[in-house]
Amino acid sequence: MDSAFLLEWVTLLLRWAHLITGIAWIGASFYFVWLDNSLSPPTDPELVSKGVGGELWAVHGGGFYNPQKYLLAPPRLPAHLHWFKWEAYSTWLTGIGLLTALYYLQAATYMVDPAVAGLSPAQAVGIGVGALVLGWVVYDQLCRLLMGRSQLLFAALYFAFLALAAWSLTHLLSGRAAFVHLGAMIATAMSANVYFWIIPGQRIIVQAMRRGEVPEAIHGLRAKQRSVHNNYLTLPVLFCMISNHYAFTYTHPQAWAVLCGILLSGALIRHFFNLRHKGIVAWQYPSAGVALLLLVAIATAPTARQAGRGPAPRVADIEPIIRARCVACHAASPTLVPSAPAGVLLDTPERIAAQAERIHQQAVVLKAMPMGNLTGITAEERARLAAWHDAGARP
Ligand code: HEC
């Protein structure tokens, strides 16, 4: 079987699995945050005497549910205790697999942008992997340093670090790779939280209880600190993961600031929901989040183009541009990639005319193409493509 086709299948399966495991992880996590914030003190004295601090009644799928949360722990641990951990681990594993199949195995196409930095594919991969490791080390040290201190201070410092990371990555890698790596960096820290702190902390607590001892509070506090962070980081990470569909975000000259604005708005909106579960409705947070998104939208809006002079171009006038800048990838037998990406073929005047709208969208409006501008299209050439489109994309 053709290796390019095989790789397509590998990415299809990984992406599918990544979505499914991600939904399972984030879904369970959203559910528990909602549950925790929605509990009410039990009215039944028997529950109170058992040590239940909060309970909830819910109906779902035709069944009635009555989860109860113990203030400390139940007097006797049940024989079977469910642990939520594989959702997080498998999301990370499929994510790394997808990152490898898409970006690391095709680094020349997806990670390098000669206009940003003249890196070799190996250097770009090194920077990508390095960012994931560094991101965890810095985050973990910040958590240790600020354990038990103001979490607002933590948020400010971590956000400053992420802004610096966004700035650095967008000045080293292609915009698209920079955004997805920032997301992978945060998501790696979230998964590592589960693996290195949350689950081990819970394990120590359970073991102490099985021995009949009172567990030290610090293990619970640490797990709580990390899980609160994971909760606030969910929406920002999810934006990074879908950002590759929105080239106007990562091709902006100040793409790092665009990214920071969107990340912050995600955390603010999440804060609103966390408070709302507790019965506090604080509109200032989502309002600030939406205002930020609006600012980003204004900053990324395409600027009006100067009307070109001279006779309106026809397809024969722009064909040389397409041949020089696009056909290395978008042809029946491309030279830069194994097969025509997204099935888009631009190797004959008829095919160019048939794709007029998409060419305009990708190469003029979004400037997403040529991918990583590997073929070095110029601003004048983009203006020619725009003039052809605006004059009706005549054959
Ligand atoms: C280095 C290889 C490369 C070059 C050169 C290149 N492209 Fe692409 N193009 C890609 C890849 C890879 C994709 C798939 C993007 C994705 O998966 O999101 C793509 C996708 C597209 C799409 C489909 C986008 C969509 O989501 O519908 C269009 C249209 C397109 N390119 C047009 C162009 C035009 C016009 C040029 C020249 C100005 C060009 N490309 C140059 C690699 C390239």
Tens-place pLDDT, residues 268-300: 999 999 888 888 899 999 999 999 999 999 998
Rounded (10°) CA dihedral 300, 301, 306, 312: 110
Handedness of CA 22, 27, 28, 33 (dihedral sign): positive
Residue 336 CB–ligand 1 contact under 6 Å: yes
**Cα–ligand 1 centroid distance for 335 (angstroms):** 14
Residue 337 CB–ligand 1 contact under 6 Å: yes
Looking at residue 279, what is its pLDDT? Answer: 85
* List of residues 6+ apart from 94 with CB closer than 8 A: 14, 17, 18, 21
What is the spatial distance between Cα 193 and Cα 187, in angstroms, rounded to a whole number?
Answer: 10
Find the range with the poorest average confidence among 9-18, 125-134, 384-393. 384-393
Residue nearest to atom 11 of ligand 1 (CA): 341
pLDDT tens-digit series, residues 171-202: 999 999 999 999 999 999 999 999 999 999 99
- Number of Cβ atoms within 10 Å of the Cβ of 243: 22
**Cα–ligand 1 centroid distance for 132 (angstroms):** 27
Residue nearest to atom 6 of ligand 1 (CA): 370
Residue 329 CB–ligand 1 contact under 6 Å: yes
Mean pLDDT of the chain: 92
Residue 359 CB–ligand 1 contact under 6 Å: yes
Q: Are 187 and 239 in contact (CB under 8 A)?
A: no
| Average pLDDT of the segment spanning 201-216 | 88
Q: Are 77 and 209 in contact (CB under 8 A)?
A: yes
**Cα–ligand 1 centroid distance for 101 (angstroms):** 18
**Cα–ligand 1 centroid distance for 313 (angstroms):** 22
Looking at residue 309, what is its pLDDT? Answer: 58
Exposure on the CB side of residue 331, measured as CA atoms within 13 A? 16
pLDDT band at 305 (very low <50, low <70, confident <90, very high): low
**Cα–ligand 1 centroid distance for 341 (angstroms):** 6
What is the spatial distance between Cα 334 and Cα 340, in angstroms, rounded to a whole number?
Answer: 6
**Cα–ligand 1 centroid distance for 331 (angstroms):** 11
Residue 371 CB–ligand 1 contact under 6 Å: yes
Q: In degrees, to the nearest 5, what angle opens at C-alpha 351 toward C-alphas 385 and 312?
A: 35
Q: Percentage of the chain with pLDDT > 90?
A: 71
Residue nearest to atom 36 of ligand 1 (CA): 326
What is the token pair recorded at 306? Answer: 């100067």
Residue 326 CB–ligand 1 contact under 6 Å: yes
Report the nearest atom of ligand 1 relative to the CA of 358: 29
- Number of Cβ atoms within 10 Å of the Cβ of 157: 14
**Cα–ligand 1 centroid distance for 342 (angstroms):** 7
Residue 341 CB–ligand 1 contact under 6 Å: yes
Ligand 1, from 103, 327, 337, 344: best to mutate by most atoms within 8 Å of Cβ?
344
